[in-house]
Amino acid sequence: MAAVVVLVLAALLSWNRPAGGGEPVTVGGTEYTTNMRMDERGGYVYVYVPVNSDVEEVVVEVDDEQDNREIRSFLDSLDTFTPGEHVLELSDSNLHFIVDGMAEE
């Protein structure tokens, strides 16, 4: 019985983690390489990060290297254990990180 509980807990903890790598996507007129779900609403770009994600596995990159350093620094300090919205100001736009992985309706 204990083994089943351990397997279920391990599956739940790994289920919310993002996959490695990243695919190019264009959102709000900007090209990103990411492994997260992203969309544009009302002129703002949203990145959805599942709760309890390992931020080292989150990929969000743009062409501008300074912006990439800002994104990485921001992600390294992001608390993914607490749901919420966090805004990162970049040179040309803002990224809204939604920690919980669910779109707001």
Tens digits of per-residue pLDDT, 18-39?
445 788 999 988 999 999 999 9
The encoded tokens of residue 54 equal 């390992």
Question: In the prediction, which pLDDT does 91 show?
Answer: 83
Distance between CA atoms of 55 and 105, rounded to whole angstroms? 25
Intervals of the chain under pLDDT 50: 4-19
Extents of the domains making up the chain: 2-99
Question: In the prediction, which pLDDT does 93 show?
Answer: 83
Predicted TM-score (pTM) of the model is: 0.75
71, with CB counted inside 10 A (0-12, 13-18, 19+), is buried
